[in-house]
Amino acid sequence: MSDRIERIVNAVLYEGYMLYPYRASSVKNRQRWNFGVVVPEVYRSAVDPSERSVLRTECLLETRPDTTISICVRFLQLVKREVTGGATSIDPLEGCDETIERELALPELRPSGMSPFRAAIVIPERTSETTENGQTIVRTNEAIRGEVVVESKYAGDDAVLLSVSIANSTPIEASAVNRDDALRRSLLSAHAVLTADDGDFVSLIDPPDRFAETVTNCRQDGLYPVLAGPEGDRQTVLAAPIILYDHPQVAPESPDNLFDGTEIDEILTLRIQTLSDDEKREIRGADARTRQLLERADNLDRESLARLHGTLRRERPDGSAP
């Protein structure tokens, strides 16, 4: 995966991960929300049918005799944090969940004439202890069980219709859990990256005329595929829980991901710099990504900050970039 595509993928993965003022004790960071949540099927059917236990995407791929595809599914998993001993001072993160990245890379597949391919998602329960500032911190992630299913069928004109579904079949006692418990057994910000070797994906936003009807019949359920590479590149598709345009990119002026929905880098950076010492101390006690966000904002030089002040981009009359 190129650096350009990885920046887009990480921006999608961590969107909404931590919201300003980036303190874990703030209400909006205790009531965590995410795009692309895949809850256990038992919870969806018994407790909240508005949730999804399966995400599914369909995309179109022009193939050649030697075309192969690689698929990578990524998501976040919540990790429960508890203080069990050591110093008696109050931990501001007590009861706040952290996250860990999960990734499932499927073996290389040949899409032409392919039988349905199934890959299991198996994450065991795990508990670890660390000592931080004289306190014993216990971190626990719940077990998750699920499945990724890849299917293909001939779509004419040397093209195949690919479908990828991500399902959560984790067994739980639905009547005994609330949504927070269900989220700890869920896939968060789930998405898939599909890469073709010796093949070309078709834009579902602006398809060639010969594929227009086929594209119209593609169905998406919680994942929305776009061409993820630079202009002219049709080898990679990002099926994300956030609707994007083809060939998305992170603004070159943006030095890092601030996680906050509809973020404006300059405003959020200046706000972070004005947080009190106590607020910054709490942020530093959070996980590595949140600490990095604070350090980046505090140490941003004047030239880099000035670049965030504003960049005007407009297309020429012929539609090309200036």
Quote the pLDDT of residue 257.
72
pLDDT in tens, 233-275: 999 999 999 999 999 988 777 766 777 655 577 777 888 888 8
Q: Is residue 229 part of a domain?
A: yes
Cα–Cα distance, 105 to 44 (Å, whole number):
26
State percent of the chain over pLDDT 90.
49
For range 136-143, the mean pLDDT: 90
In a domain, 24, yes or no: no
The angle that helices 288-298 and 277-284 make with each other, rounded to 10 degrees, is: 140
- Cβ atoms of residues 269 and 308 within 8 Å: yes
At 279, the pLDDT band (50, 70, 90 cuts) reads: confident
User: Using an 8 Å Cβ cutoff, are 240 and 55 in contact?
Assistant: no
The pLDDT of residue 300 is 80
Within-domain flag for 4:
no
Tokens of 317: 């009359």
Average pLDDT of the residues in 170-178 = 82
**Residue 218 pLDDT exceeds 60:** yes
Q: To which residue do tokens 């399902």 refer?
A: 167
Q: What is the pTM of this model?
A: 0.85
pLDDT at 92: 53
Is residue 121 situated within a structural domain? yes
pLDDT at position 318, please?
A: 56
- Domain holding 180, by residue range, is 34-244
Is the pLDDT at 199 greater than 80, yes or no?
Answer: yes
Per residue in 285-308, pLDDT tens? 777 778 888 888 888 877 777 777
Q: What is the mean pLDDT of residues 5-21?
A: 81
Predicted pLDDT of residue 311: 62
* Residue predicted with more confidence, 304 or 82: 82
Mean pLDDT of the chain: 85
306 located within any domain: no
Task: Say if 292 falls within a structural domain.
Answer: no
How far apart (Å, rounded) are the C-alpha atoms in residues 204 and 281?
A: 46
SS3 letters across the chain: CCHHHHHHHHHHHCCCCCCCCCCCCCHHHHCCCCCCCECCHHHHHHCCCCCCCEEEEEEEEECCCCCEEEEEEEEEEEEEEEEEEECCCCCCCCCCEEEEEEEEECCCECCCCCCCEEEEEEECCEEEEEEECCEEEEEEECCEEEEEEEEEEEEECCEEEEEEEEEECCCCCHHHCCHHHHHCCCEEEEEEEEEEECCEECCCCCCCHHHHHHHHCCCCEECEEEECCCCCCCCEEEEECCCCCCCCCCCCCCCCCCCCCCCCHHHHHHHHHCCCHHHHHHHHCCCHHHHHHHHHHHCCCHHHHHHCCCCCCCCCCCCCCC
Residue 239 lies in a domain: yes
Number of domains in the chain: 1
Per-residue pLDDT at 314: 60
Is residue 317 scored above 70 in pLDDT?
Answer: no
Q: In this structure, what is the dihedral angle of CA atoms 181, 184, 189, 192, given to the nearest 10 degrees?
A: -120
> Is the confidence at residue 222, as pLDDT, over 60?
yes
What is the model's pLDDT at position 73? 97
What CA dihedral angle connects 212, 215, 216 and 219, to 10 degrees? 180
Lowest mean pLDDT among 68-72, 155-159, 163-167: 155-159
Higher pLDDT, 13 or 33: 13
- The reply to whether 264 falls in a domain is no
Q: Is the pLDDT of residue 86 over 70?
A: no
Q: For 193-207, what is the mean pLDDT?
A: 96
